[in-house]
Amino acid sequence: MSVIEQNKRIVTRYFDEVWNQGKLEILDELIAPNYINHSPRAPNPKPGPEGLKPIVEAIRRGIPDVKYTIQDMVVAPDKVAVRVVITGTHTGEFFGIAPTGKRVTVNQFQIERIENGKIVEHWRQTDDLGMMRQLGILPESK
């Protein structure tokens, strides 16, 4: 398998098995011990899989039916850029926000740096403002 194919497989598994299915143990296979999350939802996460597991748990607790759908993926020998659409229903506490029962559809872009078959760095840009509006936390724009 080429490095490009391997990187595509790593990121596809990351979304499908970890985020969509909640298999946290897969992070131990995909994430390097020195992994750095440059855009965490939670402040100051630990490096490596242990820093990411609580974030995955929190998102899946707040939006149990969360689904990350890959729309685009650009794969290089050391990085993967991906655009995903996140959908789900906010039925649990979500980073301090009480359940609203509302359905969300959110765009997200991220870059994963991969080294020796493991994700070592992560950058993410999520439409958090759009999500807050969909949840009714902020008013819709005019």
Residue in the block written with tokens 């939006």? 63
In a domain, residue 102? The reply is yes
pLDDT in tens, 27-74: 999 999 999 999 877 777 899 999 999 999 999 999 999 999 999 999
Decide if pLDDT at 108 tops 70.
Answer: yes
The residue type at 17: E
- Lay out the sheet containing 103-115: strands in order across: 31-37, 118-126, 103-115, 79-89, 67-75
Q: For the chain, what is the domain count?
A: 1
**Does residue 62 form part of some domain?**
yes
The model's pTM is 0.92
101: left (phi over 0), alpha (psi -120 to 50) or beta: left
Taking the CA atoms of residue 84, residue 87, residue 93 and residue 98 in that order, the dihedral angle to the nearest 10 degrees is 120
CATH number for the domain harbouring residue 128 = 3.10.450.50
Does residue 88 lie within any of the structural domains?
yes
